[in-house]
Structure 1
Amino acid sequence: MLDFRPLYSTPQPDAVAEFIEKNYAIEGPISCRMLQRGLNDVYLVVGKNAERYVFRLSQHRARGPADVKSETAFLTHLSQSRVPVAAPIPTLDRAFSLQAQAPEGLRSGVLFQALDGREPHASDLGDARANGKTLAMLHNAAEVFPHDGALYRLDLEYLLWRPLARIGESGIVEDAEVYADLERIAGDTGKAIEAFGNLTWTYCHGDCHGFNSRINEVGEAVFFDFDDSGPGYLAYDLSVFLWANVSFGRNSTRRWGAFIEGYRAVRPITAADFEAALHFVIVRHFWLMGEYAARANEWGSNTVGWIARETNFLKMWETEQLLDRLL
């Protein structure tokens, strides 16, 4: 019989529930339903007494295995430092992650306490401000968290050069002139960032785009989804929020202003880090394009074909925000 060697499989929710009942101190019966399929599979888990959890099963990614050891250690440190985050739940063996066998290989699973509160509103400047405050608290706590042992460093090699290579290897960008534009933009951006020379290094959330949080009853932004966390540029961690408000046709720079206001209410930002964040918007876009390009064989070339059209946004950002400084 022919073995198709699957790239990706989707676990049945009842199998996930059984897996959790065997490995966690949660009284059953447990119900489970899938919340999201994407770079990871995410399930809502409900125990006998209606207590709610979120189980994340990591997918295989081009970067390599999920760094759940560093991620859960950082989350535990943040929780102990009174930073509002979704802390991981230990297993019966007091571990914070498990390996589960799937047809494509081993996948890492982590169980988190489900967060109460509401989703942030795109039009609410208070929500943007709250996200800025929590990120600043995170960076304050990160000052005493060891950076050794993390599998990935959020540097230019990881965020810019490897994604560019994945785009090229995927064959998604067929026009040689378009790919040459991407190479030129990446090169100019990398040189501009390296020219700062004194950028702050910290432990990053890595994906603080404003919606990996819930707004609790006292107005705090409680963070989750630290799958892309790791030691890296503070300016990059800031830039993700700006990028989320200006990319793909959006133009919500007022939210960026509120976010920075919230951040500065807790922690100062150096002039170099603030300036570099504008350049890191391009880096973030390359990172996302690289993630999608790496999934072309799984998601299909039609799904990731938008990558070939993104030079327009990147050129616009270079011209209007980095040269003409309209922001």
Structure 2
Amino acid sequence: MQNFFPAQYSTLSAAALKNYLIKTYQLEQSTTCRLLIRNVSDTYILENLNQKYIFKIYRDAHRKRNEIEGEVELLNILNANGNSVAYPIRDIEGKQIQQFNAIEGLRNGVLFSFARGKVILDLADRHLIQLGHDMAKLHQSASSIKLTHPRPIFNFETTLFEPLKDLEPHFAEMKEEYAYLRNIAEKVVQKFEEFNTSAFGYGYCHYDFFPKNFHFDEHGKITFFDFDFAGEGYLINDLMSFLNHYFFHQQSNSISREQAEKDFVTFLTAYQQVNPLTDDELQAIPYLGITFHIFFLKFFYDHYDDWSNIFLTPRYTRHRVALIKKWEEMYCNF
């Protein structure tokens, strides 16, 4: 038996995966397979004349099998409830998770239905209204279930205090920036003491509701996908992450502040036609943006080696802290 030197992060062969998946799922022999994205998880696209699929390979360092089982369970329920999501496909034996003995160890993969349509970054009113309605319906499903498998939990411990503790070594030469993050984290917690959070909608949120994660087809139908970060928390986390789309859009001068505010109100109004929010929930949305930015700063730090995110330099980190300050100026009132 040949011994291989251990690898930290391998890329599975698209040609080998094609043969494996054609056999395991009894796909058409003409099906092609190519690597689409090499990232936190690797994404392949499979297609033939009649069908398209997405196959995602997870990294064990990012998602353990029981968490993947939680994602699959969630998507099965959402799909059964009539929510338009890219759902896991069963193989000829009924399994929805494949396992591969890669160089670095076991890796798990899931074949998903393809989300028809395309990403639309500059959303018109009709898109925003449809998005508001469909996200609200998704939340109605996601708030009425309790999965048997674990998913991440989004609370102040996991999005503020644990990240700041883990990030402290990274900020060794950026004392001022680190002090700012510690201070604003405390302000967020104090602000939430003003809200009646017991009345907040709670359930499984997507936590990455940017336009890159849903497609519109030619008839305006939306399909949601990439539930990799989905976990338990306040449902308004998803509205907050969508607000981040407009925040970044403004930072790149792709939209005016006036238009961004108008568009978000259009979306928010449509959402509440299906799933009304309390006044406190509406006021709380911007403050969760602070937790979102700190959470992902830790995520970049934790997965620096495997993701090869060479952008995590002191310069980049200072830029991210500066963005948090801009977010505070635009949306928060401490």
Normalization by structure 1: what TM-score?
0.88
Match of 2:150 in 1: 150
The CA deviation at 1:21 is 2.3
1:199-238 alignment, distance < 5 Å: 199-238=200-239
Match of 2:173 in 1: 174
> 2:144 touches 2:203 (CA, 8 Å); kept in 1?
no
CA distance in 2, matches of 1:178, 1:96: 44
**SS across alignment from 1:87:** coil
CA distance in 2, matches of 1:38, 1:77: 27
CA distance in 1, matches of 2:111, 2:267: 29
Aligned residues with identical type, % of pairs: 26
CA distance in 1, matches of 2:111, 2:268: 31
CA distance in 1, matches of 2:63, 2:54: 24
> 1:136 touches 1:267 (CA, 8 Å); kept in 2?
yes
Residue among 291, 297, 308 paired with 2:299: 291
1:21-60 alignment, distance < 5 Å: 21-47=22-48, 49-60=49-60
Structure 1, 62-71 or 216-225: larger mean CA deviation = 62-71
> 1:243 touches 1:284 (CA, 8 Å); kept in 2?
no
Structure 1, 207-216 or 120-129: larger mean CA deviation = 120-129
1:189-208 alignment, distance < 5 Å: 189-196=188-195, 197-198=197-198, 199-208=200-209
Match of 2:112 in 1: 112
> 1:126 touches 1:258 (CA, 8 Å); kept in 2?
no
Residue among 272, 276, 288 paired with 1:280: 288
The runs of 5 or more residues in structure 1 that have no matched partner are none
- Are 2:260 and 1:259 equivalent residues in the alignment? no
CA distance in 2, matches of 1:317, 1:121: 20
Match of 1:184 in 2: 183
The runs of 5 or more residues in structure 2 that have no matched partner are none
> 1:247 touches 1:313 (CA, 8 Å); kept in 2?
no
**SS across alignment from 1:192:** helix
Match of 1:13 in 2: 14
> 1:42 touches 1:55 (CA, 8 Å); kept in 2?
yes
> 2:66 touches 2:150 (CA, 8 Å); kept in 1?
no
Q: Which amino acid aligns with 1:191?
A: Q
The CA deviation at 1:29 is 3.8
Q: Deviations over 1:104-147 (max 9, x none)?
A: 22222111111222222324333233222211010111233224
- Are 2:331 and 1:321 equivalent residues in the alignment? yes
Residue correspondences, number: 322
**SS across alignment from 2:232:** strand
> 1:125 touches 1:254 (CA, 8 Å); kept in 2?
no
**SS across alignment from 1:90:** coil
Match of 2:77 in 1: 77
CA separation of 1:109 and 1:322: change in aligned 2, threshold 3 A: same
Q: Which amino acid aligns with 1:307?
A: T
**SS across alignment from 1:303:** coil
**SS across alignment from 1:177:** helix
> 2:139 touches 2:205 (CA, 8 Å); kept in 1?
yes
CA distance in 2, matches of 1:122, 1:172: 36
CA RMSD of aligned residues (A): 2.5
CA distance in 2, matches of 1:194, 1:221: 36
Q: Which amino acid aligns with 1:28?
A: Q
> 1:185 touches 1:314 (CA, 8 Å); kept in 2?
no
CA separation of 1:285 and 1:296: change in aligned 2, threshold 3 A: same
1:130-145 alignment, distance < 5 Å: 130-145=130-145
> 2:97 touches 2:109 (CA, 8 Å); kept in 1?
yes
Q: Which amino acid aligns with 2:184?
A: I
CA separation of 1:97 and 1:221: change in aligned 2, threshold 3 A: same
CA distance in 1, matches of 2:107, 2:268: 37
- Are 2:269 and 1:268 equivalent residues in the alignment? no
Q: Which amino acid aligns with 2:327?
A: W
Q: Which amino acid aligns with 1:86?
A: A
Q: Which amino acid aligns with 1:288?
A: F
